[in-house]
A and B are shown apart, each in its own frame.
Chain A
Amino acid sequence: MQPLLEITNLHAGIEGRDILKGINLTVNPGEVHAIMGPNGSGKSTLASVLAGREDYSVSEGSVVFKGRDLLDLAPEERAGEGLFLAFQYPVEIPGVSTANFIKASVNAVRAYRGQDALEPAAFLALMRERMALVDMAPTFLSRALNEGFSGGEKKRAEVFQMAMLEPSLAVLDETDSGLDIDALRIVASGVNALRSPDRSFVVITHYQRLLSHIVPDVVHVLHNGVIVRSGGKELALELEERGYDWIRAEQGSEV
């Protein structure tokens, strides 16, 4: 089976500072990988590099997505290829309604894939169906994207966008941050509804609690820019119990 995503010896940083120092990660179709780690370990940098944020530079290594060199693609091309990043801090876009944004986004991705734009009526029906996955009221469609949304509403809007774009790989960057228990459950059930044998997830999180809702196949621990340990879902529970200090202690000589 060809892996969906293959990261090999990835080194990357920002403003001359090295943050990722040799990441190796293979994600197969349908798998859910969790990446955990203390603050500053490089979790969000990995998400940003995968999505193609310009201010990060890659100094070494490769990322192959569906057999293509991902690092060679513009962010919009990565989205077209089926990569989706759920942002830790979704950006407020005043003056652009959620409906118009989703329409521009979906049609841009469809155009990239050589598909026609959706008919307005079919599009509206699809939006309503997918909003229901995360319990979003249709009134959000006419509101400016993310503007004045609560923390939970922003994260639900991210999962709604994911549902509309139907990616092959979704990277969730601390989607649980700033969520109360109820919002967490709604977001997680939205994600679970989208799980399928040909869709993979990389769930980046600091805490175990999201992973009791979105149960991962593999858990990786990121520390100081490298994956220092990988295991099954029990690893997350162990981290929850023992904290990150023992990982730090194990890696002590390098810190």
Chain B
Amino acid sequence: MSTDNFNDYVSSSFERLERRLNGHVNGPLHNLRRRALRQFIDVGIPTRRMEDWKYTSVINVINDAQFSSEKGAPAPAPAALPNEDVYHIVITPEGLDSAPFEADGLTVEVLTDELVIADERVRSTIGAILPIDTTPFVAMNTALHTTGVVIRITGNVTKPIHLDLIAHDASPDPLPSPRILVLASEHASATIVETVRSNPAAVLLPVCEIECQANAHLHWTRVLDDANNRHISAMAANVYGNGSVTVTTCIVDAAFVRNDVVIRLLEPGAQGFLFGVSVLDGQQFADNHTVVDHVMPHCHSEELYKGVYDDGSTGVFNGKIFVRQDAQKTTAYQSNRSLLLSPNAQVNAKPQLEIWADDVKCSHGATTGALDADAIFYLQARGIPKAEARRLLTMAFAMEVLERVPVESLRQSLERRMEQRLSR
């Protein structure tokens, strides 16, 4: 499908969506959708000529979703959170699959024009934390999202919040685009686990905006653990004084992933942590694009992305760190480490630091290599067969990120899944 054809598809999807909407054709959310549609039509689907998409070809992935007549089995129950007591929020292309609810320190609502009109905080954040010109897919999601959810965290939410994103077979929409807005109030805290149930005919295009007010702490873990996953997402967090946002991306199995994550540290003491681990084989592809923006002084950020690539799989890491002129006493550390298990696997790693302040501590490092032959021999000399030695060392490599997953049962199930993958 050409860019023009795809623009037509997006436009006609938008018209269909407009017909379904009752009233509010001039509501603020609807106007935002219209602007986003124009933005998308202007720019079109990204091509490899664009710097940020140089290594990532999306057109074929989108085409597969559009024209695939293949119908997979119904989406399975999420395996990622076994026996865990959670607040379960199920988001399907048709809407929120549970009634809006309110629990201790947590409120879940559907994003509507009414809500945007009534609520100043929603109005000032939706489409502002991730503006429509961020990427073409943010514009597309803003124009076409059929399910929007506003999650307010007002206290210390003790149970994990499970965001269960579903793109199932029954859906007529091959490009489901859930929209999520998380508003964490001062001193609030929560752990969010996002999982995806996909099928071979869909590409999921979620967009998440996060506002983390002073002294609030959010830990977001994203899990992709199904070989059917095709996922192009964007997430951004605005973090205020002494607040912190941690985003941990665990790609245990997925066909195609492009994750854009932006963290802005907007008041002194704000902290951002970005961790990621990808384990890929076959022709799988994962691209982590991150931006950490140090706007004010005395903020801290840490970034560690690790990847294990077998067969002909490909990893991309692009990590930008901006340290603005006012952001003195910034500490910002970035590390990207890749393990290539096959001569045909490849990684494109690009750290980018732009520093305008003069009193800062920043570092970045990228390494790519094979397993250490001395370490394999050492394990063999202790009786451990070579294949198991390789698996043990590979798991150890991945564990540095996995051990940061804050929900114990989730960490264990991810560990098991990863071990199974490395054994196959």
Residues in A neighbouring B389, C-beta threshold 8 A: 76
Stretch at the interface among A59-67, A93-101, A134-142, A234-242: A93-101
Bound complex: CA A85 to CA B382 (Å): 8
**Chain A residue nearest to B395 in the complex (CB):** A95
With A74-B386, A76-B386, A104-B392 known to touch, is A95 a contact of B380 (CB < 8 Å)? Answer: no
Q: Which residues of B contact A95 (CB under 8 A)?
A: 393, 395-397, 399-400
Contact of A108 among B373, B384, B395 (CB under 8 A): B384
Is A104 within 8 A of B393, CB to CB?
A: no
The residues of A that contact B386 with a CB separation of less than 8 Å are 74, 76
Q: How far, in Å, is A253 (CB) from chain B's closest CB?
A: 37
Q: Is B372 close to A, CB under 8 A?
A: yes
Residues of A within 8 A of B396 (CB): 93-96
Q: In the assembly, what is the distance between CA of A91 and CA of B395, in Å?
A: 17
Question: Does chain A have a CB within 8 A of B94?
Answer: no
Cα(A229)–Cα(B319), bound, Å: 62
B residues 372-392 touching A (CB-CB < 8 Å): 372-375, 377-386, 388-389, 392
Of A10-18, A26-34, A50-58, A207-215, which stretch is located at the interface?
A: A50-58
Complexed CA–CA distance, A85 and B393 (Å): 20
Candidates B372, B379, B380, B393; contact of A74 at CB < 8 Å:
B380
Bound: A126/B382 CA distance, A: 17
Chain B 22-78 interface residues, beta-carbon cutoff 8 Å to A = none
Across the interface, name the chain A residue whose C-beta is closest to B387: A76
Cα distance A161–B382 when bound, in Å?
Answer: 8
User: Number of residues in A with C-beta < 8 Å to the partner?
Assistant: 28
The answer to whether A79 touches B378 (Cβ under 8 A) is no
List of A residues within 8 angstroms of B372 by Cβ:
91
A90 in the interface (beta carbon within 8 A): yes
Number of residues on chain B facing chain A (CB within 8 A):
23
Contact assessment for B381 and A52 in the assembled complex, using a CB-CB cutoff below 8 Å? yes
Query: Min CB distance, B140 to chain A, in Å?
Result: 40
Q: Is A227 in the interface zone, CB < 8 Å from B?
A: no
Min Cβ gap A49→B in Å is 12
Closest to B385 in A: A76
> Which residue on chain A has the smallest CB distance to residue B398?
A95
B384's contact among A51, A90, A91, A104, by CB below 8 Å, is which?
Answer: A104
Chain B residue numbers with a CB within 8 Å of A54 are 373, 377
Q: How far is the CB of B405 from chain A (nearest CB, A)?
A: 15
Which of B374, B379, B382 counts the most chain A CB atoms within 10 A?
A: B382
A131: which B residues are within 8 A, CB to CB? none
Q: Which residues of B contact A104 (CB under 8 A)?
A: 379, 384, 388, 392
A108 CB contacts on chain B under 8 angstroms: 382-385, 388
Q: Is the interface of B mostly helix, strand, loop or mixed?
A: helix
Are B384 and A76 interface neighbours, CB within 8 A?
Answer: yes
CB-CB under 8 A for A52 and B380, given A94-B396, A95-B396, A108-B385: yes
Question: Cβ of A161: which chain B residues have Cβ within 8 Å of it?
Answer: 382
Please encode chain B, from 137 to 168, with 1 for each CB lying within 8 Å of some chain A CB and 0 for all others: 00000000000000000000000000000000
B339-352 contact mask (Cβ, 8 Å, vs A): 1 or 0: 00000000000000
Measured CB to CB, the nearest residue on chain A to B380 is A75
With a CB–CB cut-off of 8 A, which chain B residues contact A51?
377, 381
CB-CB under 8 A for A105 and B383, given A95-B400, A96-B393: yes
Nearest chain B CB to A172 CB, angstrom units: 13
B400–A76 contact, CB under 8 A?
no
A75: B residues at CB distance < 8 A: 377, 380-381
Q: Does A4 contact B (CB under 8 A)?
A: no
Contact in complex: B393, A91 (CB < 8 Å): no
Among B380, B388, B392, which residue has the most Cβ atoms of chain A within 10 A? B380
Across the interface, do B382 and A91 meet the contact criterion of CB distance under 8 Å? no
* Residues on the A chain within 8 Å of B380, using CB: 52, 74-76, 79
Name the contact of A79 in the complex, choosing from B382, B392, B395 (C-beta under 8 A). Answer: B382
Within 8 A of B (CB), among A88-145: 90-91, 93-96, 101, 104-106, 108-109, 112
In the bound complex, CA of A67 to CA of B31 (Å): 85
A102 shortest CB reach to chain B, Å: 8
Contact across chains for B377 and A93 when beta carbons are under 8 A apart: no
Whether the pair A76, B378 counts as a contact (CB closer than 8 A) is no
A165 at interface, CB cutoff 8 A = yes
B383 and A76 form a contact (CB under 8 A) = yes
Instruction: Please tell me if the beta carbons of A105 and B382 are within 8 angstroms of each other in the complex.
Output: yes
Among residues of A, the one whose C-beta sits closest to the C-beta of B377 is A53
Judged by a CB distance under 8 angstroms, whether A87 is at the interface is yes
Contact with A along B352-383 (1 / 0, CB 8 A): 00000000000000000000111101111111
- Supplied contacts A74-B386, A91-B377, A91-B378, 9 more A-B pairs, CB within 8 Å: A79-B382, A80-B383, A85-B381, A94-B400, A95-B395, A95-B396, A95-B399, A105-B383, A165-B383
Please list 23 pairs of residues, one from A and one from B, whose beta carbons are closer than 8 Å in the complex, sorted by A's number.
A52-B380, A53-B377, A54-B373, A54-B377, A74-B385, A74-B386, A76-B383, A76-B386, A87-B381, A91-B374, A91-B375, A91-B377, A93-B379, A93-B393, A94-B396, A94-B400, A95-B397, A96-B393, A101-B379, A104-B379, A105-B382, A108-B384, A161-B382
- List 3 A-B pairs, minimum CB-CB distance, nearest first: A95-B396, A79-B383, A75-B380
